[in-house]
Amino acid sequence: DTAVSQTPKYLVTQMGNDKSIKCEQNLGHDTMYWYKQDSKKFLKIMFSYNNKELIINETVPNRFSPKSPDKAHLNLHINSLELGDSAVYFCASSQRQDSGYTFGSGTRLTVV
Amino acid sequence: SQQGEEDPQALSIQEGENATMNCSYKTSINNLQWYRQNSGRGLVHLILIRSNEREKHSGRLRVTLDTSKKSSSLLITASRAADTASYFCATDARSGNTPLVFGKGTRLSVIA
Backbone angles phi, psi at B89, to 5 degrees: -95, 155
A89: pLDDT confidence band, cut at 50, 70 and 90?
Answer: very high
CA dist A59 and A45 (Å) reads: 9
* Identity of the residue in B42, B92, B98 whose CB atom sits nearest the CB atom of A104: B42
Q: Are A53 and A71 in contact (CB under 8 A)?
A: no
Residues of A in Cβ contact (< 8 Å) with B100: 45, 101
Q: Does B61 touch chain A (CB under 8 A)?
A: no
What's at A20, amino acid-wise?
Answer: S
Residues of A with CB under 8 A from a CB of B: 4, 33, 35, 40-43, 45, 48, 50, 55-56, 90, 92, 97-106
| pLDDT tens, position by position, B58-89 | 999 999 999 999 999 999 999 999 999 999 99
Percent of chain B topping pLDDT 90: 80
Q: Are B108 and B86 in contact (CB under 8 A)?
A: yes
Chain A residue with minimum CA distance to B107: A41
Residue A86 has pLDDT above 60, yes or no: yes
Q: Does B97 touch chain A (CB under 8 A)?
A: yes
